[in-house]
């Protein structure tokens, strides 16, 4: 009974953390694309994801989108409703990690792993973002749990069925789930080869599971091939921030402590906590003969090695986002390492590790400075400055990637609603963009809508260091044509997520 009470307390705490400040940040581009896409019919959602030719559509399988579509039909499109879906799966992921630790080792390890997952900034960050990652983390933990359960009880067909269903759901949620499933299968095969006990039942169960995965995912396989050709790798963008020159420990850090945007501001934070995390993992590896430790090592290390190896070959991959799929294995190994560590080392090592996580959680995830693009503040400032019928031109922060471009506009539209006469303008050069802004300023509003201050143009852009010279050239030309009446920069300490609004007087038109 005591264990159940502790588990319930962990889950309640996890829910409270994930719901704290859920609407603190405005939607950013990818989230805005999700909101507008998931308001379409389920058939249109699948067709859009399968076509890969819409700039507002992710390169991703459809399960999360379809479930979110049903969720928003019931609860609406507010930020609380939209992100609440991820928060729900974030709590379920904590429960799954708790169950995984208990299944692999013992109740104490499960509770400790659940507590670590509840406060982990990497888990909380994506539980507060309207994307598929929290759901993928839950399904990954469920797949690991069912894999171990099936290996321990190979004659129980429903255990294999659970492994098959969780694997299919993971594949239809995030393509990188295939790496985790491959790692689990390889680990299971090695265990089967090393043990003669119940070998036949295990081989038959694993073969049946592979058939289930193949048959279930076959209809979407042509889309995966198309997505790979379209994006360079499943669900991927080009390598950013010079991965080939970035020390690998920074990405291990992302797994241990959370979002890598935090690195540049707090380099002093990582050496000792990184050492503490490494000691905990090494303590777990002392039990490497344990088949459960082996399979968690496979689940955590193999996918990371594949992704990083592909990046060295120049293929396009995400940064740390998909690593959340492999993260439950890491959390369980750290919890087990704590249990196996010698007592006089145990408490200080874990205290350092947990203190670092709590510091990052309260400053990065739940703090006020590290915010995503402040489209809501931008819309509120424009309305306060110029009234509800202001004329607004949104210009791009990313070139030439079309999805973030469209996402910028959709994020602003979400928060601005129908209040403004808004257009999204782009161009290959600064001159092209200036011509588009000037043409928009010269237009008369259509219909009976009246612009209260037709002599003003609000130019909104998301600041991004990669295209800052481009934006500087645009504003330099506009400054020569119109008088700059006002401006504001809405800062974010997350690189590339600040916003700038410049108000021009266009009376001469």
Q: Is 60 exceeded by the pLDDT of residue 451?
A: no
Nearest alpha-carbon partner for 499 in 391, 367, 411, 385 = 411
What is the average per-residue pLDDT within 301-326? 73
Please give the residue that has the higher pLDDT: either 240 or 162. Answer: 162
How many C-beta atoms surround the C-beta of residue 209 within 10 A? 26
Nearest alpha-carbon partner for 101 in 121, 87, 125, 117 = 117
Task: Using DSSP, state whether 454 is helix, strand or coil.
Answer: coil
366: which 2 tokens?
């739940």
Average pLDDT value for the chain:
84
Q: Rounded to the nearest 5°, which phi and psi values hold at 207?
A: -65, -45
Q: Which of 99-113, 340-354, 445-459 has the highest mean pLDDT?
A: 99-113
Q: At what angle do helices 133-152 and 79-104 cross, to 10 degrees?
A: 20
pLDDT, residue 235, reads 44
CB 295 within 8 A of CB 145: no
Q: What is the CA radius of gyration of the chain?
A: 25
pLDDT band at 141; cut points 50, 70, 90: very high
184: which 2 tokens?
């689990």
Q: Is 90 exceeded by the pLDDT of residue 143?
A: yes
DSSP states along 366-414:
SSSSS----HHHHHHHHHHHH-TT-EEEEE-SSSS-HHHHHHHHHHHHH
Q: What angle do CA 262, 265, 267 make, to 5 degrees?
A: 90
What is the average per-residue pLDDT within 180-206? 90
108: Cβ–Cβ under 8 A, 6 or more apart, which residues?
Answer: 339
d(CA 128, CA 365): 9
What is the average per-residue pLDDT within 322-338? 92
Q: What angle do CA 222, 226, 232 make, to 5 degrees?
A: 135
Tens of pLDDT, residue by residue over 27-80, are 888 888 899 999 999 999 999 888 866 767 777 899 999 999 999 999 999 999
CA distances from 194 to 114, 189, 281 (A): 31, 9, 24
pLDDT, residue 452, reads 45
Task: Using DSSP, state whether 346 is helix, strand or coil.
Answer: helix
Please name the fold of domain 375-505: Rossmann fold (3.40.50)
DSSP states along 53-91:
--TTS-SS-SHHHHHHHHHHHHH-SSHHHHHHHHHHHHH
Nearest 10 degrees: Cα torsion 55, 57, 59, 63: -170
CB 177 within 8 A of CB 171: yes
First and final C-alpha spacing in the chain: 76
pLDDT, residue 349, reads 92
Kindly list the domain boundaries of the chain, sorted by start residue: 2-365, 375-505
d(CA 490, CA 190): 54
25: Cβ–Cβ under 8 A, 6 or more apart, which residues?
Answer: 128, 371, 372
DSSP states along 92-130:
HHHHHHHHHHHHHT-HHHHHHHHHHHHH-HHHHHHHTSS
- Percent of all residues in the chain with a pLDDT value above 90, rounded to a whole number: 43
Q: What angle do CA 426, 431, 434 make, to 5 degrees?
A: 60
Residue for token digits 């002599």? Answer: 455
How, if at all, do strands 456-462 and 499-505 pair?
Answer: antiparallel
434: Cβ–Cβ under 8 A, 6 or more apart, which residues?
Answer: 474, 477, 478, 481
Give the CB-side neighbour count of residue 274, counting CA atoms within 13 A.
15
pLDDT band at 433; cut points 50, 70, 90: confident
Give the H/E segment covering residue 476: helix 468-481
Q: What angle do CA 111, 143, 141 make, to 5 degrees?
A: 30
d(CA 285, CA 337): 8
pLDDT band at 237; cut points 50, 70, 90: very low
78: which 2 tokens?
């507010």
Point out which residues pair with 486 in neighbouring strands: 503
Exposure string of 386-401, with b = 16+ CB inside 10 Å and e = fewer, is: beebbbbbbbbbbbee
Give the H/E segment covering residue 256: helix 249-257
Residue for token digits 């030309």? Answer: 477
């Amino acid at each position: 009974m005591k264990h159940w009470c502790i588990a319930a307390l962990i889950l309640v705490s996890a829910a409270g953390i994930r719901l704290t400040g859920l609407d603190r940040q405005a939607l950013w581009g990818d989230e805005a694309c999700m909101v507008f896409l998931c308001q379409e019919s389920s058939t249109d959602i699948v067709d859009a994801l399968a076509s890969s030719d819409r700039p507002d559509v992710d390169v991703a399988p459809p399960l999360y989108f379809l479930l979110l579509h049903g969720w928003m039909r019931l609860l609406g499109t507010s930020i609380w409703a939209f992100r609440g879906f991820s928060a729900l799966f974030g709590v379920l992921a904590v429960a799954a990690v708790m169950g995984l630790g208990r299944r692999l080792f013992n109740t104490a390890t499960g509770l400790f792993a659940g507590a670590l997952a509840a406060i982990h900034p990497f888990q909380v960050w994506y539980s507060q973002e309207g994307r598929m990652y929290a759901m993928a983390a839950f399904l990954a933990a469920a797949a690991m749990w069912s894999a171990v359960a099936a290996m321990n009880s190979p004659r129980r067909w429903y255990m294999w069925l659970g492994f098959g269903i969780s694997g299919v759901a993971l594949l239809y949620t995030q393509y990188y789930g295939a790496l985790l499933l491959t790692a689990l299968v390889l680990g299971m095969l090695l265990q089967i080869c090393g043990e003669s006990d119940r070998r036949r039942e295990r081989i038959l169960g694993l073969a049946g599971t592979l058939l289930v995965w193949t048959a279930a995912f076959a209809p979407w396989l042509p889309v995966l091939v198309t997505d790979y050709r379209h994006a360079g790798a499943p669900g991927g963008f080009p390598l950013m921030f010079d991965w080939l020159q970035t020390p690998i420990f920074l990405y291990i850090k992302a797994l241990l402590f959370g979002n890598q945007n935090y690195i540049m501001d707090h380099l002093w934070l990582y050496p000792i906590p990184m050492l503490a995390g490494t000691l905990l993992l090494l303590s777990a590896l002392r039990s490497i003969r344990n088949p459960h430790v082996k399979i968690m090592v496979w689940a955590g290390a193999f996918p990371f090695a594949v992704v990083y190896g592909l990046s060295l070959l120049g293929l396009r991959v995400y940064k740390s986002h998909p690593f959340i799929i492999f993260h439950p294995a890491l959390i369980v190994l750290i919890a087990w390492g704590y249990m196996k560590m010698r007592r006089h080392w145990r408490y200080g090592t874990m205290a350092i590790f947990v203190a670092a996580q709590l510091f990052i959680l309260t400053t990065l995830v739940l703090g006020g400075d590290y915010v995503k693009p402040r489209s809501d503040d931008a819309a509120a400032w424009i309305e306060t400055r110029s009234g509800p019928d202001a004329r607004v031109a949104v210009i791009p922060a990313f070139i030439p990637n079309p999805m973030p471009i469209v996402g910028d506009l959709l994020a602003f539209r979400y928060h601005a609603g129908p209040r403004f006469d808004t257009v999204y303008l782009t161009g290959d050069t600064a001159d092209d963009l200036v011509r588009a802004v000037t043409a928009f300023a010269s237009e008369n509003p259509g219909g009976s809508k009246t612009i209260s201050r037709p002599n003003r143009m609000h130019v909104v852009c998301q600041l991004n260091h990669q295209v800052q010279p481009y934006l500087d050239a645009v504003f330099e030309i506009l400054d020569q044509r119109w008088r700059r009446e006002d401006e504001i920069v809405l800062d974010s300490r997350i690189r590339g997520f600040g916003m700038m609004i410049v108000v021009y007087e266009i009376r001469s038109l």
